[in-house]
Structure 1
Amino acid sequence: MKKFLRYILVAAISSCIIPFSSCSDDDENAVNEWNMTYVSLLPTNYLKPIQTVTLDHFTGKEIEGTVAMDVMATIQKAASNDITVDISATCEGISSEKITMSSNKAVIKAGSTKSEPVSISITDWSDIASVSEAAEYTLNINVAGIESVASDVVLSDLHKSLSVKIQKKEEREEDLLFFGKAPENSTLNTDITNWVFTFMDGVENAAANSVNGKGGGDVATNGTPFWLTVDLKEVKNVTGIQTSHWGGGYCPTKVEIFTSENGSSWKSMGQVATSGAYHDIAFKYTVATRYLKYQMIEVPSRVDITKFYIYTAN
């Protein structure tokens, strides 16, 4: 009797286990959130944050700056078939024709977990050339669709788009003067004997001074900004200037540089802040000119200049 009861108990337990095992196998084969293949859109250099792009806007010139982003489509596990990911890129204020894409499809090959990079860039900013104030734009890169024969391939909710912030500076005059460094690949010209200097009326020692090489005294005023011009006698490829003063307390704190083709009509290269007894001012570009004008803008109660030299391109 005990043996009979034991057989009944074993049979009952077996009848319970078999259906349970069958259900477990079905769960493993069923498509669910744990075994789906998720497609993500990532920068190729995804370990670094996406940098904000800054655009310069100088008066009379095209907006300067480049947006360049390499992206790729990825999956967390290799698939047995190719997966094609459609990519779109838009930027408010910028027409689609100005957005360059190496391809609008990123293909994840069978057996791989990522696609080849897709390059997206903007270099033509003519659509916003009339915007003079500072402005912000966003380049949005999105997954537009997925092409796959597998039913378990879906788009990740977390990584389906990328954004590149773009900040355009306010339109301004270009910075052409840089204080505190000698221009590269240049020679300092200190032979002033063939140059002709002209000084603003009212300065001390206008006829004979250390600037024009005809005297030992400086050119100075008591707190009045003054100018000087120099005729180099021939056109030279000027890359900057150097001036010297009795001391840091006697130098201008802001100056403006001009060039001229004829010695009477002057074109400003801009203003630059200065300090110290010796001033190196580099030009952004080499300027072919015969005439230069040096104008003090802001000065202390006593201001002077003892030397004026020019840098020319080697």
Structure 2
Amino acid sequence: SIEGNNLNALSSNRGVVYVKIQNIHVNVESGQPAEGTLIADRSGWTVKVAPTTRGDAKNLIDGTNSDVARDGGAEYWLTVDIGKVQTLTGIRNKCYASSYSPTAVEVFTSSDGAKWKSIGAVTISKSGTQYIKFSKAVETRYLKYYVKQGPNTVSLTEFDLYAK
């Protein structure tokens, strides 16, 4: 402690320290979106998947139980070009079985499909159908879904988006 006006005891060099504080807002959480409806027509969408996955990327938007999977813990991500800018409120993905579902994902958006901005990461329960809601709707044309954690084999069969 310093008593009286003896400020010299505080610092002999009187240096300045700058502290940068960054506020990170997480815009994703587990659960079904309260707003918006599933985009019914996915015919104009283009899906790409990590080269370490097996299965055709089109399987994720074809309405069937065909899957796109990773084995042995390989990297798993997918990107979706929905053809035009839309106001998105969440994600629904279906898995081959709950035992093949991811348990943590990060969601990114992009205006050009090349430079990605994270809107947040979320832990999700193992389930055959998983939901992620955006606490604030996002306007984007491109979306990236990155699996951060899950079993060695992650197997998605369908990928849907909610929009306003």
Question: Scaled by the length of structure 1, what TM-score is found?
Answer: 0.43
Q: Which has the larger radius of gyration?
A: 1
Contact conserved, 2:63 with 2:158, CA < 8 A, in 1? Answer: no
**Pairwise CA distance, 1:214:** 8.5
Runs of 4+ in structure 1 deviating by more than 6 angstroms, as ranges, are none
Contact conserved, 1:231 with 1:290, CA < 8 A, in 2? Answer: yes
Aligned match of 1:281: 132
Quote the Cα distance in structure 2 between the aligned partners of 1:208 and 1:289: 21
Pairing of 1:18-167 with structure 2 (within 5 A): none
Q: Percent identity?
A: 35
Quote the Cα distance in structure 2 between the aligned partners of 1:297 and 1:207: 19
Contact conserved, 1:220 with 1:305, CA < 8 A, in 2? Answer: yes
Q: Classify the secondary structure of the residue corresponding to 2:29.
A: strand
Question: Scaled by the length of structure 2, what TM-score is found?
Answer: 0.80
Query: Taking CA–CA contacts closer than 8 Å with sequence separation of 6 or more, which of the two structures ends up with the larger relative contact order?
Result: 2
From the superposition, tell whether residues 286 and 207 of structure 1 become closer, same or farther in structure 2 (CA, over 3 Å): closer
**Pairwise CA distance, 1:215:** 6.8
Give 2:69's aligned amino acid.
Answer: A
Give 1:285's aligned amino acid.
Answer: K
From 45, 49, 73, the equivalent of 1:199 is 49
After superposition, give the CA deviation of every residue in 1:102-161 in whole Å (9 maximum; x if it has no partner).
xxxxxxxxxxxxxxxxxxxxxxxxxxxx795xxxxxxxxxxxxxxxxxxxxxxxxxxxxx
Give 1:311's aligned amino acid.
Answer: Y
Q: Classify the secondary structure of the residue corresponding to 1:249.
A: helix
After superposition, give the CA deviation of every residue in 1:244-295 in whole Å (9 maximum; x if it has no partner).
1022210111000000000000000111001212111110111110000000
**Pairwise CA distance, 1:194:** 1.3
Aligned match of 1:312: 163
Contact conserved, 2:52 with 2:74, CA < 8 A, in 1? Answer: no
User: Are 1:291 and 2:120 counterparts?
Assistant: no
Give the aligned length. Answer: 144
**Pairwise CA distance, 1:175:** 2.2
Aligned match of 1:213: 62
Greater fraction of residues in helix: 1
Q: Say what the alpha-carbon RMSD is for the aligned residues.
A: 1.9
Pairing of 1:149-188 with structure 2 (within 5 A): 173-180=24-31, 182-188=32-38
Contact conserved, 1:225 with 1:298, CA < 8 A, in 2? Answer: no
